[in-house]
């Protein structure tokens, strides 16, 4: 795919598809200003492009396009059982952007979405209105970066800063922004907000090289986290998914030791740990499309519609991680 | 495999000559020309004929996972800023009468004009120019897209149009069509090559030796179709993880007398492959 990219494929975002009704939103203009050189194609509905049959997710990843659209309904979704709520009740997630700039082997998005094109919903005020109406009934825990990596896109799509601005005005909301990026600088001008958690997903460098291309290196993520901590932000570390690899015990031991030699562990809010898990349907779909990832073809066990490592292996992976992390973080702040 | 539809013989002729395409004697419904790698069919003029011919072409060419379809022909331009002879790659194809719009994947890098193409049910003339259409006008692209998108991935579908006039269809002679298509033949060839390169990047994890081994083991062990299917599936998983199927080699020499015995060996094989 690399050769193909250099010889024949368009650069990322060579084309921007814009829904007719999205044209009237100021955010659309703001975003389009950042894509001056891109070819603009006006479309009726984002699904006319996003939901075409037989699309090749991996090929599209190599030449991703952007779609600007208006979301009509279902602005918030109830938090899924596979995701951690960190002890919060009233757990919801939302997707102002679909798809991610990275291409991790273990990512469920490749099995969930028919297209790899990044789709951004420009009617963010409708999302805010929905959150506000829920906040009238009580506090809300909301994650905004599950089906994408919002912070990595901030320079192109300024959604993180808009959400941060909204959270600052709504103390009843606890907002989690999850990322693998080293792009804290794009929001570093904003003062830390007490009801926002910046959550970084971290993996050993060998896992990043093998399975998380083209995401930032461990060291650059750590640098970004250290800067966020320095600026007073609440920081969560997510060691998720823990991946079975050669010499995994040593790999993860060295990794955890490196993480906490760089980061002040007493300033970490909490930690989440999880091993690989994915809907069996998504895994099946991904296996049909790819033959370039050893991880995806691991003989996972499918139980209750979820593919995961065999129970014994999963237990060893998680127990090992909890024991490594608990040397630095109290067990009450480690979530599985 | 390259599949081409053109509406007119004069659009096809330069392609037939340049790529040494030979008329298939067995084809009756449509004139099919081929050199074994490129297959070309002449649909006739109009959207419906284009749907039928494109579907027929996809269905009547040898089975392959790498079919790339091209609709090649002339078009009228709503704007005089494009010279006659300009090659246009359609990035949006609309049939206003049917209220349908189609989008091929625009993944490949090129230096040609890229624009919207509007397909009309009758030849577009100056009358249409007053309407707020953008781009170019033709009579087949939407039909081609409707059919092709049903069978092929959108990155394997291309509408290539050559500007022939400014909505004065009566000004377009057969000789002009021949000349315009011939002038762009190298451009078409370039795009065919890119189409082939993209499809070459999708390699089968199994080599022909792997397939032979899987066949031989399945036959020797009297596997049912379903058991063979399972074997291929777990062998694919294994090869993706380990890079080879050497672990299966000893099983090539195992033979059984009954399907039940075969099932027992299958379980052993499965255990090995899922380790």
Structurally, chain A folds into a number of domains equal to 1
Q: At what angle do helices B141-151 and B47-60 cross, to 10 degrees?
A: 30
For residue A256, the enclosing domain spans: 2-335
Q: Which residues contact B241 (CB under 8 A, 6 or more apart)?
A: A294, A297, A298
* Tally of CB atoms within 10 A around B113: 18
Provide the whole-model pTM: 0.92
Residues A145/A179, Cβ–Cβ less than 8 Å: yes
With an 8 Å Cβ cutoff, are A4 and B201 in contact?
Answer: yes
Express each pLDDT in A151-167 by its tens digit. 999 999 999 999 999 99
Average pLDDT over residues A107-133: 97
Cα A89 to Cα B204: distance, rounded to the nearest angstrom: 47
A51 touches chain B (CB under 8 A): no
B241 touches chain A (CB under 8 A): yes
DSSP string, A235-298: EEEEEEEE---TTHHHHHHHHHHHHHHHS-GGG--EEEEEE-EEEHHHHHHHHHH--S-TTTTS
pLDDT interval class at A188 (50, 70, 90): very high
CA dihedral A31, A34, A36, A38 (to 10 degrees): -80
Express each pLDDT in A194-218 by its tens digit. 999 999 999 999 999 999 988 999 9
Residue B150 to residues A319, B44, B106: CA-CA distances in angstroms? 49, 21, 18
pLDDT interval class at B26 (50, 70, 90): confident
- Secondary structure letter of residue A9 according to DSSP: B
> What residue of B is the nearest CA neighbor of A289?
B202
pLDDT interval class at A293 (50, 70, 90): confident
CATH number of the domain encompassing residue A270 = 3.80.30.30
Whether omega for the bond prior to residue B21 falls within 30 degrees of 0, making it cis, is no
pLDDT at A64 over 60: yes
B247 touches chain A (CB under 8 A): no
Residues 27-66 of B with CB under 8 A from A: none
Instruction: Determine the length of chain B.
Output: 275
With an 8 Å Cβ cutoff, are A60 and B155 in contact?
Answer: yes
pLDDT higher for A280 or B129? A280
A43 touches chain B (CB under 8 A): yes
Sheet holding A173-179, edge to edge: A77-78, A91-93, A140-143, A173-179, A196-201, A234-242, A270-275, A334-335
Express each pLDDT in A5-37 by its tens digit. 878 899 999 999 999 999 999 999 999 999 999
A60 touches chain B (CB under 8 A): yes
Average pLDDT over residues B132-141: 89
Domains of chain B, first to last? 2-200 (3.40.50.1580), 208-273 (no CATH)
Q: How far apart are the first and last CA of chain B?
A: 38
Q: Helix, strand, or coil here: A181?
A: coil
CA-based nearest distance B17→chain A, Å: 27
pLDDT interval class at B128 (50, 70, 90): low
Cα within 13 Å of Cα(A13), Cβ side: 19
What residues in B contact A298, CB-CB < 8 Å?
237, 241
Q: Helix, strand, or coil here: A173?
A: strand
Residues A179/A149, Cβ–Cβ less than 8 Å: yes
B244 touches chain A (CB under 8 A): no
pLDDT score recorded for residue B131: 65
Backbone φ/ψ region at B252: left (φ over 0), alpha (ψ -120 to 50), beta: alpha
């Amino acid at each position: 795919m690399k050769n193909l990219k250099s010889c024949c494929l368009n650069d990322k975002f060579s084309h921007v598809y814009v829904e007719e009704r999205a044209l009237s939103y100021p955010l659309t203009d703001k975003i389009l200003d950042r894509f001056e050189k891109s070819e603009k194609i006006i479309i009726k509905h984002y699904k006319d492009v996003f939901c075409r049959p037989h699309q090749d997710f991996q090929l599209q990843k190599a030449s991703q396009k952007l779609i600007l659209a208006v979301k009509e309904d279902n602005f918030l979704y109830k938090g899924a059982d596979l995701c951690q709520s960190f002890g919060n009740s009233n757990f919801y997630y939302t997707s102002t952007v679909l798809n991610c700039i990275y291409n991790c082997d273990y990512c469920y998005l490749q099995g969930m979405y028919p297209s790899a094109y990044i789709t951004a919903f420009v009617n963010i005020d409708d999302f805010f209105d929905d959150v506000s109406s829920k906040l009238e009934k009580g506090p809300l825990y909301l994650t905004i970066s599950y089906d994408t990596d919002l912070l990595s896109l901030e320079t192109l799509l300024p959604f993180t800063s808009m959400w941060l601005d909204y959270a600052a005005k709504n103390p009843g909301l606890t907002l989690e922004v999850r990322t693998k990026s080293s792009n804290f600088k794009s929001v570093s001008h904003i003062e830390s907000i007490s009801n926002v958690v910046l959550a970084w997903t971290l993996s050993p460098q060998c896992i990043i090289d093998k399975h998380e291309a083209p995401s930032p290196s461990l060291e650059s993520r750590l640098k970004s986290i250290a800067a966020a901590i320095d600026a007073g932000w609440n920081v969560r570390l997510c060691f998720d998914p823990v991946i079975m690899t050669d010499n995994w015990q040593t790999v993860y031991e060295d990794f955890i030791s490196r993480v906490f030699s760089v980061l002040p562990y007493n300033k970490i809010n909490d930690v989440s740990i999880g091993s690989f898990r994915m809907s069996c349907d998504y895994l099946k779909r991904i296996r049909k499309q790819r033959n370039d990832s050893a991880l995806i073809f691991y003989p996972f066990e499918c139980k209750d519609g979820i593919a995961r490592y065999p129970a014994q292996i999963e237990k060893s992976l998680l127990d090992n991680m909890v024991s490594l992390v608990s040397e630095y973080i109290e067990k009450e702040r480690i979530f599985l | 495999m390259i599949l081409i539809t053109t509406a007119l013989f004069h659009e096809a002729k330069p392609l037939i000559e340049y790529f040494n395409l030979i008329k298939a004697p067995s084809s009756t419904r449509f004139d099919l020309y081929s050199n074994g790698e490129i297959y070309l069919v002449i649909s006739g003029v109009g959207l419906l004929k284009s749907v039928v011919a494109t579907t027929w072409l996809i269905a009547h060419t040898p089975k392959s996972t790498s079919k790339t379809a091209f609709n090649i022909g002339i078009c009228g331009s709503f704007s005089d800023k494009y010279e006659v002879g300009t090659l246009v790659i359609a990035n949006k194809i609309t049939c206003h009468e049917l209220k349908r719009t189609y989008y091929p994947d625009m993944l490949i890098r090129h230096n040609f004009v890229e624009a919207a193409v509007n397909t009309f049910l009758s030849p577009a003339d100056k009358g249409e120019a007053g309407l707020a259409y953008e781009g170019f006008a033709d009579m087949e692209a939407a039909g081609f897209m409707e059919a092709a998108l049903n069978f092929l991935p959108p990155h394997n579908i291309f509408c290539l149009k050559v500007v022939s006039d400014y909505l004065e269809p009566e000004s377009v002679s057969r000789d002009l069509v021949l000349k315009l298509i011939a002038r762009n033949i190298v451009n078409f060839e370039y795009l065919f090559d890119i189409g082939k390169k993209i499809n070459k990047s999708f390699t089968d994890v199994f080599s022909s030796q792997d397939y032979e081994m899987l066949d031989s083991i399945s036959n020797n062990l009297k596997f049912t179709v379903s058991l063979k299917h399972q074997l291929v599936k777990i062998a694919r998983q294994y090869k993706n993880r380990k890079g080879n199927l050497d672990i299966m080699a000893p099983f090539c020499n195992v033979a059984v007398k009954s399907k039940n015995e075969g099932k027992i060996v299958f379980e052993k094989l499965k255990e090995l492959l899922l380790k």
